Structure 1
Amino acid sequence: MKQESLLLFCIFFLYGSFSVFGQGSSCESLDPFCAGDEELVFPNSNSTNSSIVNGEPGPDYGCLLSQPYPAWFYLQVEETGNLRFNISQFQNENGGGSQYDVDFIVWGPFERTEDYCTDDSLSELNIVDCSYEPDTVEQMYIPNAEAGQVYVVLITNYEELPGFISLRQTNSDQATSGSTDCGILDEVLGPDRFLCGEDETTLDATTEGVERYEWFQFNETTDDFEIIANEENPTLTLTDSGRYKVIVYENITGQADEDEIEIKFYNEPVANVPDDLYICDPNQTTIDLTSASAQILNGNTSEEDYRVNFYETAQDIEDENSISNPSAFPVEESREIFAQVEGVESGCVSQEVFFSVELTFVPENFLPEESVVCVDLDRTVLAQQGIGEDLGADYEYEWIAEGNTISTEAVLNFTETPNFNNVTLIVTDNRSGCNIEFTTALLVYSRPENVLVEIEGSDFTGGYIINAEATKGIGGETTYEYRADNGAWQESAVFRNLDPGYHTISAREINGCGITTSEEFYLVGYPRFFTPNSDGYNDTWNIENTAEIQIKKLYVFDRYGKLIKELTPNGEGWDGTYNGRTLPADDYWFRVEFEMQNGTSDHYGTNFTLKR
């Protein structure tokens, strides 16, 4: 209202004719109050002026276990500081009569444009002070109140008896105190309304002692308010945004008073689910979440500007704890991100959506720096060979050689010897578009062409030394492994301590490109044992002549040095008997005299075993 009617307004308030407070029995009908330097006295809510017996469901009433005959108010802070009040309740307006138990709760702070009466606003998180003590005088404390903030106060009448409530600020003379704004008593229409996703709203200018109402809408063309015809009731239901004004005429003095309000209807913002975001580079530690904003905002109207707020969890949305630096959000693993669209002017918010931030790394060792293709000595590829690996349907592959795409399969198969030295593979993740490039050098190898064997020494001169040499096959420098007969593979091409008999030496290319075996060769020596059991195997013991060694004399002794047999080289050998008698299994000894290929003579002797 205008300033000239404020005096009348406060007179009604202070002297009991002002009954608006008795009608503030629900949050939607909450009334303003202030407390300046004077004591503020007003009727409580009771059965004579209110039909609301208990507090409405929905708000968190904190310490108030019951809320009999609630009276709802709001106050606005004028000067920043601490606010401390005494609240008391008594039977008579002048403070006389019985004193009644009074209880209260305070929520806040809120902005003027907020809807104070939602369950989210009147929540546990926003409780500032509360008392349910059985006292007739309570202290209400609002610390660190800032100018312009609004607080909602609920005062209850525990004894449910008619009476009056006294409100007095007790710290107004202190340096750290704040103050409430009594000017809000003029605003019978309340603060400007910014409505999200609503089709209509109703203005209520109901004021005690008013004879009639006139409603006006501001015309942008004429730059003036124009009366709304046939609207003379204390309420006005609106469906259009604009500035509106009400003029009330008091029934006693005819004094006109007015109040203005701005109404804005906003569509609820829309948040679209964006495509997931991907990190391709394993060295990347942050991601720009705002790159999803355009998709999230798509479909909103141009009635106001919008921003996208990003959150780590759904709880963060409830707590209004948005990500502070979404353009460089740290990411260590794949995760979900929540987003909400907010109108910059209205504060309207959309439903939340969520999307994923995915780390899509192709293994770094997916393709080695060198790849081997195995061919035979005629350069034909050994069976079908391939390089690469199938990572699944989410990936595409491109093999490039000498600037040309040669395959789009996951595995590059070779059916003939490649005529290029290097091949490049580009792997692309279809979901993210991430790709990584590998280049591998093709190494073509075959098995050795030949394996040559050189024999040194003898079984009678410290043992044989076999030197093998693999003749290189197709391809560049490579490595070969060797083995004697079917023994273990070894890097060395030198073999020692091979038993007398037939042998071969094999060599294989280290990358698995085939095996080549030498011609069979025979090592002359003495048998370490024999088994004269007539099974056709090792039934006799003898030493044979070779091109390298000619046996001159060969004697067999028992362990005591008794001559058992003199053998003829290349003869039938010893059958394990002496003078027709079978000798027992035991160690026996021999002495051999021989002549080597170079003409030198020598002798050798040691033991061997007869097994039965």
Structure 2
Amino acid sequence: MKQETLLLFCIILLYGSFSVFGQGSSCENLDPFCAGDEELVFPNSNTTNSNIVNGQPGPDYGCLLSQPYPAWFYLQVEETGNLRFDISQFQNEDGGGSQYDVDFIVWGPFDRTEDYCTDDSLSELNIVDCSYEPDTVEQMFIPNAEEGQVYVVLITNYEELPGFISLRQTNSDQANSGSTDCGILDEVLGPDRFLCGQNETTLDATTDGVERYEWFRFDNTTNNFEIIANEEDPTLTITNSGRYKVIVYENITGQADEDEIEVTFYSEPVANTPEDLYLCDPNQTTIDLSAASAEILNGNSAEENYRVNFYESIQELEAENPISNPTAFPVEESREIVAQVEGTESGCLSNEVIFNVELTFVPENFLPAESVICVDVDGTVLDQQGIGEDLGTDYTYEWIAGGNTISTEAVLNFTETPNFNSVSLIVTDIRSGCTIEFNTTLLVYSRPETVEVEIEGSDFTGGYIISAEATPGPGNETTYEYSADNGNWQGSTVFRNLDPGNHTISAREINGCGITTSEEFYLVGYPRFFTPNSDGYNDTWNIENTTEIQIKKLYVFDRYGKLIKELTPGGAGWDGTYNGRTLPADDYWFRVEFEKDGTNDHFGANFTLKR
């Protein structure tokens, strides 16, 4: 405690006719102060700037036996916690020069709406901290300060000399520390607003302990905020984009504080449903979804820029998980894609639209590398033949030969032998514009003109060997298959083991362009069996003469070698009896003596009598 007498406080200070009054010289003229990590420095009250020599009467000043040149302040708590400050007083603003004794007292806590300058408020009951020590640095401590509370602080200048007061919070980095706020408003207007599809919005600056409000709008012409006449309420309803400001005046101190906000009204973006996208090339594994962006964005205003976000499903849109690589989106099958337009400045979103990604691959074997045209031996086309396939109304076709378009039908029909060897086909998908080109070589084939037969051997000399020769018809060189008597087809032209009797050999073109059959020919031989049952079929057994073989003698024996019958060539044949007696069913033998090509020969074998 300073060792001074009360007489010292009775000294009369005389001033000239001009005085400079320090701010906060009375409680009704409170100034705010606050301190965070940075030091707050401000001028003290002294003989050069104030004529308030001592504290106003009424308050309980606690430990301050005197209050020379008082400076009144208030602080407002921003964050709940303990507040600890160093208060010091120096001759110079930078902390240099002489150090002066500094004293203080703190009252509180008060609500913002309270009148905290009354004698009842500044009473002994509300004193929080006080120091009257002869120190140039004092520690001010406010424990358990709560957010929104107000504390009144009086700092005195015991030595009455001009100087500067320094205020620094010393516990801001410690646990359970609080913080102070110099503002009346706490950004009550909030962040800038981007309003989508709205016509108006209301700004609300309602603040406790505020006496009046003033609203302003920024004028781009004057480059200043201009007051909005007759708007003194805590709220302001606006319909135009712009920069707005509110100034509030505290009802206790009259202190002014302000907040600003930028409000922009945006039209809601529009998303148009685009045409489906198509993937044409079967070797292409990705598609550029942004190709649909222009169509989706069509019709939006020019008030801001837009982007299109693509999603794999409605669920992905709701989860705000857009496709990350829309320019190279992998596609394995036809599927739906969801799109939404977003304003790049406002973040406004459109309705969602859905379109398809379609895979429109024409079958790879749609047109073979080679196409067959069948003609007859005179060169005419067999019936009406065509190449190609009708894929439906979604496709167009262009057939090209020799550089000229010869047809736009799905199937290229031929009524006569074409005079070109190859043809191209361009197939276009009308929906996507995708095109694919095929090329095919035309192969003209025909059935054989003739089939000639050459006969070698006989039934009596190891069997016949029949050789067929097909004479090619017009068109390209081809391959034929052969058949004897409408039997199985074979590639070989040689036939063996044909039974005696009438035969034909047929040859067919392997691509189905027709069959030609030889003239009928007859093979001489012996019957392998006969059935003497008087039914008119195979009732007798005999060997006939032919132009190739002349029968001289013909004998029939039983299985023991007994001569049963000598037959006359060309006669009635054997009826299965011996001396008028019917012989049993069994194997019998014959011997034939014949002349062939001027040479005599003989042959023997068995045959069967069946009953």
TM-score, normalization: structure 1?
0.72
CA offset at residue 602 of structure 1?
A: 2.8
> Aligned pair in 2 of structure 1 residues 379, 316: CA closer, same or farther (>3 Å)?
same
Cα deviation code 1:145-172 (max 9, x no counterpart): xxxxxxxxxxxxxxxxxxxxxxxxxx97
CA offset at residue 559 of structure 1?
A: 2.4
Query: Residue 247 in 1 paired to residue 247 in 2?
Result: yes
CA offset at residue 10 of structure 1?
A: 2.6
Contact 1:172 1:179 in 2 (8 A): no
Specify the alignment match of 1:603 in structure 2: 602
SS of residue paired to 1:345: coil
Specify the alignment match of 2:583 in structure 1: 583
Query: Residue 17 in 1 paired to residue 111 in 2?
Result: yes
Supply the distance in 1 between the matched residues of 2:324 and 2:371 (Cα, whole angstroms).
48
CA offset at residue 588 of structure 1?
A: 1.8
Query: Residue 395 in 1 paired to residue 462 in 2?
Result: no
CA offset at residue 42 of structure 1?
A: 6.2
Specify the alignment match of 2:221 in structure 1: 221
Cα deviation code 1:366-419 (max 9, x no counterpart): 111221211112222111111111111111111122222221111111112222
Contact 1:337 1:355 in 2 (8 A): yes
CA offset at residue 426 of structure 1?
A: 1.1
Cα deviation code 1:458-484 (max 9, x no counterpart): 111211110000001111210111100
Contact 2:458 2:524 in 1 (8 A): yes
- Superposed counterparts of 1:487-526, under 5 Å: 487-526=487-526
SS of residue paired to 1:10: strand
CA offset at residue 595 of structure 1?
A: 2.4
Letter in 2 for 1:17: D
Letter in 1 for 2:350: S
- The farther-off stretch of 189-198 and 7-16 is 7-16
- Superposed counterparts of 1:266-285, under 5 Å: 266-285=266-285
Supply the distance in 2 between the matched residues of 1:337 and 1:182 (Cα, whole angstroms).
52
Contact 2:340 2:351 in 1 (8 A): yes
SS of residue paired to 1:327: helix
CA offset at residue 17 of structure 1?
A: 2.2
CA offset at residue 13 of structure 1?
A: 8.2
- The farther-off stretch of 179-188 and 268-277 is 179-188
Specify the alignment match of 2:426 in structure 1: 426
Cα deviation code 1:477-524 (max 9, x no counterpart): 101111001101111111111100000001111111111111110001
CA offset at residue 178 of structure 1?
A: 14
Max Rg structure: 2
Supply the distance in 1 between the matched residues of 2:234 and 2:365 (Cα, whole angstroms).
78
Cα deviation code 1:517-570 (max 9, x no counterpart): 111100011111112222222111111122222222222222232222111122
Supply the distance in 1 between the matched residues of 2:182 and 2:435 (Cα, whole angstroms).
65
Contact 2:77 2:145 in 1 (8 A): no
Specify the alignment match of 2:557 in structure 1: 557
Contact 2:243 2:261 in 1 (8 A): yes
Supply the distance in 2 between the matched residues of 1:372 and 1:179 (Cα, whole angstroms).
95
> Aligned pair in 2 of structure 1 residues 545, 190: CA closer, same or farther (>3 Å)?
same
CA offset at residue 241 of structure 1?
A: 0.9
Query: Residue 375 in 1 paired to residue 375 in 2?
Result: yes
CA offset at residue 450 of structure 1?
A: 0.6
CA offset at residue 38 of structure 1?
A: 8.0
Letter in 2 for 1:470: A
Letter in 2 for 1:206: T
Specify the alignment match of 1:318 in structure 2: 318
Supply the distance in 2 between the matched residues of 1:444 and 1:547 (Cα, whole angstroms).
42
Specify the alignment match of 1:298 in structure 2: 298
- Superposed counterparts of 1:183-202, under 5 Å: 186-202=186-202
> Aligned pair in 2 of structure 1 residues 182, 322: CA closer, same or farther (>3 Å)?
farther
Supply the distance in 1 between the matched residues of 2:293 and 2:180 (Cα, whole angstroms).
41
CA offset at residue 4 of structure 1?
A: 4.3
Residues paired across the two proteins, number: 464
Contact 2:75 2:181 in 1 (8 A): no
CA offset at residue 181 of structure 1?
A: 11
Specify the alignment match of 1:339 in structure 2: 339
Letter in 2 for 1:304: E
Supply the distance in 1 between the matched residues of 2:187 and 2:194 (Cα, whole angstroms).
16
Letter in 2 for 1:273: T
- Superposed counterparts of 1:87-98, under 5 Å: none
Supply the distance in 2 between the matched residues of 1:182 and 1:567 (Cα, whole angstroms).
145
Contact 1:5 1:257 in 2 (8 A): no
Could you say what the CA RMSD is over the residues aligned between the two structures, in angstroms?
Answer: 2.7
Supply the distance in 1 between the matched residues of 2:295 and 2:462 (Cα, whole angstroms).
85
Letter in 1 for 2:210: V
SS of residue paired to 2:292: helix
Supply the distance in 1 between the matched residues of 2:341 and 2:329 (Cα, whole angstroms).
18
Supply the distance in 1 between the matched residues of 2:344 and 2:191 (Cα, whole angstroms).
19
Letter in 2 for 1:276: D
Specify the alignment match of 1:409 in structure 2: 409
CA offset at residue 193 of structure 1?
A: 1.1
> Aligned pair in 2 of structure 1 residues 382, 604: CA closer, same or farther (>3 Å)?
same
* Identical pairs, percent: 78
Supply the distance in 1 between the matched residues of 2:252 and 2:430 (Cα, whole angstroms).
80
> Aligned pair in 2 of structure 1 residues 451, 586: CA closer, same or farther (>3 Å)?
same
SS of residue paired to 2:351: coil
Q: Structure 1: state its 5+ residue gaps.
A: 20-36, 44-170
> Aligned pair in 2 of structure 1 residues 473, 38: CA closer, same or farther (>3 Å)?
farther
Contact 1:585 1:609 in 2 (8 A): yes
Specify the alignment match of 1:103 in structure 2: none
Letter in 2 for 1:378: D
Specify the alignment match of 2:470 in structure 1: 470
Supply the distance in 1 between the matched residues of 2:177 and 2:278 (Cα, whole angstroms).
52
SS of residue paired to 2:349: coil
> Aligned pair in 2 of structure 1 residues 559, 173: CA closer, same or farther (>3 Å)?
farther
SS of residue paired to 1:350: strand
Letter in 2 for 1:507: A
TM-score, normalization: structure 2?
0.72
Specify the alignment match of 2:95 in structure 1: none
Supply the distance in 2 between the matched residues of 1:180 and 1:486 (Cα, whole angstroms).
111
> Aligned pair in 2 of structure 1 residues 381, 40: CA closer, same or farther (>3 Å)?
farther
Cα deviation code 1:416-451 (max 9, x no counterpart): 222222221111111111111112122222211110
Supply the distance in 2 between the matched residues of 1:546 and 1:456 (Cα, whole angstroms).
15
Contact 1:371 1:442 in 2 (8 A): yes
Specify the alignment match of 2:25 in structure 1: none
Specify the alignment match of 2:330 in structure 1: 330
Supply the distance in 1 between the matched residues of 2:455 and 2:256 (Cα, whole angstroms).
130
- Superposed counterparts of 1:560-575, under 5 Å: 560-575=560-575
Supply the distance in 1 between the matched residues of 2:531 and 2:474 (Cα, whole angstroms).
48
Supply the distance in 2 between the matched residues of 1:284 and 1:218 (Cα, whole angstroms).
56
Letter in 2 for 1:10: V
Specify the alignment match of 1:259 in structure 2: 259
> Aligned pair in 2 of structure 1 residues 172, 552: CA closer, same or farther (>3 Å)?
farther
Letter in 1 for 2:600: S
Letter in 2 for 1:246: V
Letter in 1 for 2:608: T
Supply the distance in 2 between the matched residues of 1:600 and 1:292 (Cα, whole angstroms).
94
Letter in 2 for 1:291: A
> Aligned pair in 2 of structure 1 residues 349, 11: CA closer, same or farther (>3 Å)?
closer
- The farther-off stretch of 552-561 and 204-213 is 552-561
Cα deviation code 1:19-59 (max 9, x no counterpart): 9xxxxxxxxxxxxxxxxx9856469xxxxxxxxxxxxxxxx
Letter in 1 for 2:547: A
CA offset at residue 282 of structure 1?
A: 0.9
Supply the distance in 2 between the matched residues of 1:431 and 1:180 (Cα, whole angstroms).
68
Supply the distance in 1 between the matched residues of 2:180 and 2:329 (Cα, whole angstroms).
43
Letter in 1 for 2:587: D
Supply the distance in 2 between the matched residues of 1:371 and 1:294 (Cα, whole angstroms).
44
